[in-house]
Amino acid sequence: MSLQTSEQLRLTSPGVTFSDMLPAFSPDGHSVAFVRYTPILDAHDVFVVPFSGGTPRQITHEKSDIRGLAYSADGNDLVYSSDSHGANRLFRTSVSRFGEPNAVKESGFFHERPSIARQARRMVFTEKFKNTNIWRVPGPGQPSGPAELLLSSNSNSHSQQYSPDGNRIAFISSRSGAAEVWVANADGSRPMRLTYFDGPSVGSPCWSPDGRYIAFDRRHPGDGKGDIFVVPSRGGEAVQFTTDVEFHHSPFWSRDGKWIYTSHARSGQREVWRYQWPKGVSQQMTFHLGYRPRLSPDDRYLYYTKGDLPMMFRSPVAGGPEEVVPEMGDRAENGFWEVTSRGYYWFGKSHDPFPPLMFFDFATRKTITLAPGEAPLAGGVLGVSVSPDQKWVTYPRVDRNVRRIMVAENFR
């Protein structure tokens, strides 16, 4: 847009498939770099378009989460923030020559929004992360007590899941830099790293019914696609389980151990499918959107959400119409719910600053508040895991919201 006349010039036409954002002028003003977002893959890449108009040219091929970009002072390179190797950090790539991006040595993890001075050799950027830790509260019928810190670090820990015997917990943590699968004892002691991908992101760990394996989702480096992997719970090589579509996520093992349920967009929108374990046929299970699948303890009902809708749905595994779970209505935080033999657990939406932990008892048909809301919940992760004896309910919450401006001197 012209500052003198307010005349607007359209530089890109992404259509309905993409979204263009985060523009940055080259130092000479002849080009504009920007980020193109692909919603169905939840992925970004960097493009450059001439200011005079023309076809955008793709610079990166990562399909990662990109949070800000800037031209180098000489205009030859672009510096951008990407999670292609774990948590967001800064990378540098040539605008004109094809080559692998290089990590900016002045940058660590959780760095984004770079800005580079034209004259002084300085770069500023934001260090931004939410210190997320795993907490627990007593389950229904247990002596009440305050929330207890179960698993913590100076980084992020979330998506915790109890083992079938209740003795261990699988969780995702970026305490080593990149997000990886970890396991610990049920009391939080002796955490052990299981995966060594060092990026991109992994998530949604789920135990096999016999406790021998943990399934999880992982994005592939460079293409934004995702698949389900399986790793032995005592340590060993992680192996890829699915290979057939663009982006698998949120695995869940059936209680009989015969199927792994997952969500992906093979049909053009996210639906729940199931895959025979260890190999075999696949079967579509939902047809009107399905996300974050879970099963009832008897394997009779499939539970799921629909993206950002604050509701939980269910449908019979054997076939039949879906229904909204009436006990929760539209009051559940997305991802923060669990189905057990005793009842439903969820963090309920409320007018208070932080949502409370709720429980619906199948026996009494009553809903109670298990714990008041005390802190923000971690977004985009698995939220609630209940111990098999239902004595403990665990959840991840944000304990510190870190945002600060950093300066790199003598940056070239």
Task: Please report the pLDDT score of residue 129 as a whole number.
Answer: 83
Q: Is residue 390 part of a domain?
A: yes
Q: Is residue 407 part of a domain?
A: no
Confidence band for 16, pLDDT divided at 50, 70 and 90: confident
Task: Please report the pLDDT score of residue 185 as a whole number.
Answer: 98
For the chain, the average pLDDT equals 90
Task: Please report the pLDDT score of residue 352 as a whole number.
Answer: 67
Confidence band for 265, pLDDT divided at 50, 70 and 90: confident
Confidence band for 105, pLDDT divided at 50, 70 and 90: confident
Q: Percentage of the chain surpassing pLDDT 90?
A: 64
For position 337, which CATH number holds? 2.120.10.30
Q: What is the pLDDT of residues 266-304, one digit of tens each?
A: 777 889 999 999 988 999 999 999 989 999 999 999 999
How far does CA 14 lie from the centroid of its chain?
A: 25
Task: Please report the pLDDT score of residue 25 as a whole number.
Answer: 95
Q: What is the DSSP string of 101-168?
A: -EE-TT--SSEEEEEE-SSSSEEEEEEEEEEEEEEEEE-TTSPP---EEEE--SSBEEEEEE-TTSSE
Task: Please report the pLDDT score of residue 34 as a whole number.
Answer: 97
**Dihedral over Cα of 258, 337, 376, 42: its sign:** positive
Q: Is residue 204 pLDDT above 60, yes or no? A: yes
Confidence band for 109, pLDDT divided at 50, 70 and 90: confident
Higher pLDDT, 308 or 390: 390
Is there a single domain that holds both residue 342 and residue 221?
A: yes
Q: Is residue 208 part of a domain?
A: yes
Q: Is residue 5 part of a domain?
A: no
Domain that holds residue 366: 131-400
Is there a single domain that holds both residue 208 and residue 298?
A: yes
Q: Is residue 372 pLDDT above 70, yes or no? A: yes
In 3D, which of 61, 139, 202 has the Cα closest to residue 384? 139
Confidence band for 130, pLDDT divided at 50, 70 and 90: confident
Residues 6+ apart with CB under 8 A from 97: none
d(CA 279, CA 241): 8
110-115 contact pairs (CB < 8 A, 24+): 110/402, 111/81, 111/406, 112/67, 112/68, 112/81, 112/88, 113/67, 113/68, 113/81, 114/68, 114/69, 114/70, 114/79, 114/80, 114/81, 114/90, 115/70
Task: Please report the pLDDT score of residue 89 as a whole number.
Answer: 87
Q: Is residue 4 part of a domain?
A: no
Confidence band for 97, pLDDT divided at 50, 70 and 90: confident
Q: Percentage of the chain surpassing pLDDT 70?
A: 95
Task: Please report the pLDDT score of residue 313 as a whole number.
Answer: 92
Q: HEC states along 69-82?
A: EEECCCCCEEEEEE
Is there a single domain that holds both residue 56 and residue 193?
A: no
Higher pLDDT, 125 or 377: 125
The one-letter amino acid code at 136 reads R
What are 372's two structure tokens? 């008041």
- 352: burial class by Cβ within 10 Å (0-12, 13-18, 19+)? exposed
Look at 32-36, 259-263, 264-268 and tell me which has the smallest mean pLDDT.
264-268
Is there a single domain that holds both residue 43 and residue 139?
A: no
CB 85 within 8 A of CB 108: no
Residues forming a β-bridge with 207? 214
Is there a single domain that holds both residue 154 and residue 56?
A: no
In 3D, which of 96, 74, 80 has the Cα closest to residue 44? 80
Task: Please report the pLDDT score of residue 222 as a whole number.
Answer: 61
* Angle subtended at Cα 211 by Cα 207 and Cα 215, rounded to the nearest 5 degrees: 30
Q: Is residue 338 pLDDT above 90, yes or no? A: yes
171-178 contact pairs (CB < 8 A, 24+): 171/134, 171/205, 172/202, 172/203, 172/204, 172/205, 172/216, 172/381, 174/86, 174/87, 174/109, 177/86, 177/87, 177/109, 178/85, 178/86, 178/87, 178/109
Higher pLDDT, 98 or 291: 291
Q: What is the pLDDT of residues 134-143, one digit of tens each?
A: 999 999 999 9
Q: Is residue 345 part of a domain?
A: yes
Is there a single domain that holds both residue 91 and residue 154?
A: no
In 3D, which of 389, 398, 383, 381 has the Cα closest to residue 348? 383
How far are the Cα atoms of 26, 156, 178, 219 from residue 63, in angstroms, in the given order? 23, 23, 17, 9
Q: Is residue 331 pLDDT above 80, yes or no? A: no
Q: Is residue 377 part of a domain?
A: yes
- 46: burial class by Cβ within 10 Å (0-12, 13-18, 19+)? buried
d(CA 36, CA 58): 9
Q: Is residue 115 part of a domain?
A: yes
In 3D, which of 83, 87, 89, 86 has the Cα closest to residue 106? 89
Is there a single domain that holds both residue 85 and residue 217?
A: no
Q: What is the pLDDT of residues 37-79, one digit of tens each?
A: 988 777 899 999 999 889 999 999 888 889 999 999 999 999 9
Confidence band for 224, pLDDT divided at 50, 70 and 90: low
Is there a single domain that holds both residue 33 and residue 79?
A: yes
d(CA 57, CA 121): 28
Task: Please report the pLDDT score of residue 351 as a whole number.
Answer: 57
